């Protein structure tokens, strides 16, 4: 007996491009690096992007660049340690990209407690408040996309990065809870997990890593940062932005509660 055929979910139509016309996207840490690339990518897809950062000059530069490209970016100067303001900023958001981060490389016994607290506030508690602020609107319309820019350090640990690793591991769990709760409301929640990205955050680590590991700064990239990566280069911010954009496409509507790893083979070990 010939088994019954199961029609494909989307028929034979070709994949549709990302179209976020009429949608509002909020991107944190948008003044530079991954956040800037994400803001420009989502604006190019037609979204009105609410760009959040402490860096007013960087936000103005972003908005001007987006305008030159025909996109719409609204700069929003905000310190994410103001948690109530962060939650309020996320109201009426259709796409939320939690990207803002900071880093300090120190051994545990030398790690400043106030810095540990700040890192977890910006990189874990603020995403919680932003998600909390965005969900009522997303639930009300039956559609939403939450993309948390995690890291390979959300899946693996490295020495001397206690606050960053703790925050990213926590963000992974928060993202999964949001996925479980949001599924029946048409809301997906995922993490994107890059390896080392060519950003100012990574460039500023070189001196700290050299000090912590006791090696010259010029050896840090090859011997520390890229040691476990099969692909021996930094990933570009635009590559991360494409992964974020994919999670907003119709073809990714079944992708939720997971981590999209773009780490050059780091976690293949």
Other Cβ atoms within 10 Å of 167 Cβ, number: 27
| Cβ within 8 Å of residue 88, ≥6 positions away | 133
- Of the candidates 198, 202, 188, the residue with the CA atom closest to the CA atom of residue 249: 188
How high is the pLDDT of residue 212? 83
How high is the pLDDT of residue 185? 98
Q: Identify the burial level of 201 via C-beta atoms within 10 angstroms of its C-beta, where 0-12 means exposed, 13-18 middle and 19 or more buried.
A: middle
How high is the pLDDT of residue 225? 86
How high is the pLDDT of residue 204? 77
How high is the pLDDT of residue 7? 47
How high is the pLDDT of residue 43? 97
CB 104 within 8 A of CB 119: yes
How high is the pLDDT of residue 255? 98
Tokens of 152: 């390979």
Active-site residues, by number, are 164
CB 80 within 8 A of CB 100: yes
> Chunked in runs of 10, what are the mean pLDDT values of the chain (269 residues)?
50 72 98 97 98 98 95 97 98 98 96 98 98 98 98 96 98 98 98 92 80 85 88 94 97 98 94
Angle formed by the axes of helices 56-68 and 33-44, to 10°?
Answer: 30
What is the Cα–Cα distance from 165 to 192, expressed in whole angstroms? 15
pTM of the model: 0.90
Q: Which residues pair with residue 73 across a beta bridge?
A: 49
63 phi/psi in degrees, rounded to 5: -60, -40
């Amino acid at each position: 007996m010939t088994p019954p055929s199961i029609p494909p979910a989307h028929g034979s139509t070709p994949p549709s491009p990302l179209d976020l016309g009429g949608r509002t996207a909020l991107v944190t840490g948008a003044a530079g690096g991954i956040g800037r690339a994400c803001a420009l990518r989502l604006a190019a897809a037609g979204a009105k992007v609410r760009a959040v950062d402490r860096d007013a000059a960087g936000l103005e530069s972003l908005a001007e660049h987006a305008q030159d490209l025909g996109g719409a970016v609204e700069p929003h100067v905000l310190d994410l340690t103001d948690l109530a303001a962060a939650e309020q900023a996320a109201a009426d958001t259709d796409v939320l990209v939690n990207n803002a981060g900071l880093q300090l490389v120190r051994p545990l016994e030398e790690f400043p407690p106030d810095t540990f607290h700040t890192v977890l506030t910006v990189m874990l508690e603020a995403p919680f408040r932003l998600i909390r602020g965005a969900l009522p609107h997303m639930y009300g319309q039956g559609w939403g996309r939450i993309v948390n820019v995690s890291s390979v350090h959300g899946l693996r640990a490295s020495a001397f990065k206690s606050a960053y690793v703790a925050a990213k591991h926590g963000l992974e769990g928060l993202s999964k809870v949001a996925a479980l709760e949001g599924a029946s409301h048409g809301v997906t929640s995922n993490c994107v997990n890059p390896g080392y990205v060519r950003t100012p955050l990574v460039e500023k680590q070189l001196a700290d890593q050299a000090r912590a590991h006791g090696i010259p700064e010029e050896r840090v990239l090859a011997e520390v940062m890229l040691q476990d990566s099969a692909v021996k280069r930094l990933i570009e911010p635009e590559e991360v932005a494409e992964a974020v954009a994919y999670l907003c496409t119709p073809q990714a509507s079944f992708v939720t509660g997971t981590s999209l790893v773009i780490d050059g083979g780091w976690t293949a070990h």
